[in-house]
Structure 1
Amino acid sequence: MRVMVMVKATPESEAGQMPSMELIAAMGKYNEELVKAGIMQGGDGLKPSSAGVRVRFSGKDRTVVDGPFAETKELIAGYWLWQVQSMDEAIEWVKRCPNPMVSDSEIEIRPFFEPADFGEAFTPELQEQEKRLRQQIDGQTR
């Protein structure tokens, strides 16, 4: 199962406070463990919401709203993409994570939809399209 593991923002991360050298080293070691275990597929830290925007949709209208955004507890400061056997395995890995913030913090784990979740609506044609797109994405270099 694929999951997104989200590090929730804190007042410090929203203020742009960078992690200490010790925390960067600890997180690097943790990421190495994830890679060696074959779990980590990607991940990064995110800049504060003051560097971001939101696009709101209302029918055909689009409105761009500049950050920062008020509800720090609802914001994400970083993420990982993992391939795990179960939610329990993901939880065990998160429990091993160094506290990613200076103060108390929270990490959320959310599973991705799998093709079977869509039932008959995910036709063989749409499955083939999805497969082609994923292959194209995998073949891109940055």
Structure 2
Amino acid sequence: MSRYMLIMRSTPEAEAAMAELNIDFNEIIAAMGRYNEELIKAGVLLAGEGLTGPEEGFVVDFNADPPVVTDGPYTEAKELFNGFWILDVSSKEEARQWAVKCPLGKGVKLEVRRVHDTDEFPQDNEWVQKEIQWKADLAEKLAVEARKAANR
């Protein structure tokens, strides 16, 4: 299996199209909910979240030393990263099939990128070994929390 990240990017044109269509926000939530439920039932959804607007974020620009931090909104942005899904699928083609089903509208783009697996990096590297251990520790922590929640 391979992990793919679906990155939802919106444009000012998408925002204008949504406003013009005057779609109730509850309809948008329902469409996304149905899509997420389909991903869950298929057993491919690992994570997925929507993001707040750019006014609540900031950008760190590493072209300067020290890096320059600029609070949102970002007037120079032509596209905004609005949310993401991480899927565990059998192939790039399966990721493509899920991506085209996403209920997004005109002016929105969904960038799809494969997530590297730890085993693609040199296994004798101390930082790769630390990452493997961090992931194992996190998995154990989540398992403990899940068991506690189930016993409540």
Q: TM-score interval w.r.t. the shorter chain? A: 0.7 to 0.9
Structure 1 unaligned regions, length at least 5:
none
Structure 2 unaligned regions, length at least 5:
17-22, 146-152
Matched with 1:10 is 11
Matched with 1:26 is 31
Q: In the TM superposition, what is the alpha-carbon distance from 1:3 to its structure 2 partner?
A: 1.1
Matched with 1:72 is 78
Q: Deviations over 1:64-121 (max 9, x none)?
A: 1111122232x2111011111111100101111112x4x4311010111223433x3x
Matched with 1:95 is 100
- Do the aligned residues in 1 keep the contact of 2:118 with 2:132 (CA within 8 Å)? no
Matched with 1:136 is 137
Equivalences, count: 133
Separation in 2, partners of 1:56, 1:97: 31
Identity of aligned residues (%): 33
Matched with 1:107 is 110
1:41 corresponds, among 46, 55, 74, to 46
Q: Deviations over 1:36-87 (max 9, x none)?
A: 11111111111121211112235751321111122232x2111011111111
Query: What TM-score comes out, normalization by structure 1 length?
Result: 0.79
Query: What TM-score comes out, normalization by structure 2 length?
Result: 0.75
Instruction: Give the aligned CA root-mean-square deviation in angstroms.
Output: 2.5
Higher CA-based Rg: 2
Residues 7 and 19 (structure 1), Cα distance of their counterparts in 2 relative to 1, 3 Å cut: farther
